[in-house]
Amino acid sequence: MPCNCKVEMNGIPHPHNGCEFHLRKENTEHNGHHHPHRKTFDNDDRYEEEDCVAGDETVRYPDGSVRLRNPNIELMDQDILYHLALGSGSHDLVEMFGDVKFVCMGGTPKRMEQFAYNIMAEIGHKLPCGTTLQDISQFSYRYSMYKVGPVLSISHGMGIPSVGILLHEVIKLMYHAKVHDPVFFRIGTCGGIGYEGGTVIISDDAVDGALRNVFELLVLGKSIQRPAKFDKRLVRELKGLADPEDPYDTVTGKTMCTYDFYEGQGRLDGAFCDFTEADKMEYLENIYKAGVVNIEMESLAFAALTHQAGIKAAVVCVTLLDRLKGDQVNHDNQRC
């Protein structure tokens, strides 16, 4: 399958503050400036100094490459990444993806195609003459994947099951491609809790509908709970990118991840509803008091699986509406 992964890297900025997230905005981490109208959490004492990647020495090789926590993969003749239309035997994954540093995931194929073009302009990457961006996973008919230099832009679909399947295969892709120290991002949309549409929210924690900081999965009929942790240093560095001149607020806080868009998020407008508006408002106000600033449907699995793999990760979303003021999202909201 053709791939546009041979690139000139000269256009990539140097690492910022020791983080491998190449930032174009230098020296913007607060510098003592605060936007007078910006709603933000500035209490960095909440952050532990650990980088929140579990047991680096046990889940990554000394050179920073991904170590799979599954002995079965080594025994296989080839590993078929079915939902990506790739395979360790059918493709030279090191040649195609060995230079990847950042994996950016979002909900829809169109959104991630647009993101790929935006990143191309941002880092000054130029495709070889006569070529164009290609959806590497187009023949899977499930996810889309674009490669722009060291950046992968991948659609993850909607909800925990979809993003979970993708993460399993992308983590294995990083392993087979011998990628060193990859950083994963989810960029998407969400419903704000006390925050208007257009607010950028960086998740510093992911919790379920009962405010538990774990991802629960039934494996062979038994409940397995995996801690859902983000890399705290990466969260701080992303927060430091907020510019007082930005036409939107940037906040950090807990993200609630649900298994459903309607009842699971306390919406009154689904096909079924067995609670009152008063019940809904009491619940939303309680989670707001507990530090929840937004609701979506992927962050819990995203945090847990990347943490389990020893991969630095963060979630950045834009709010489409304030759930304390309503339930319905219209097409105008989606364009923000």
Binding residues for substrate: 265, 267
Distance CA 216, CA 228 (A): 10
- DSSP label at 200? E
Residue pair 323/193 in contact (Cβ under 8 Å)? The answer is yes
Element (H, E) at 94: helix 93-97
Binding site: which residues? 142, 186-189, 265, 267
34 touches 152 (CB < 8 A): no
Q: What are phi and psi of 322, to 5 degrees?
A: -95, 115
Contact 170, 305 (CB under 8 A): no
Residue with tokens 């389990």: 308
Binding residues for phosphate, as ranges, are 142, 186-189
Among candidate residues 229, 215, 234, 236, the one with its CA nearest the CA of residue 297: 215
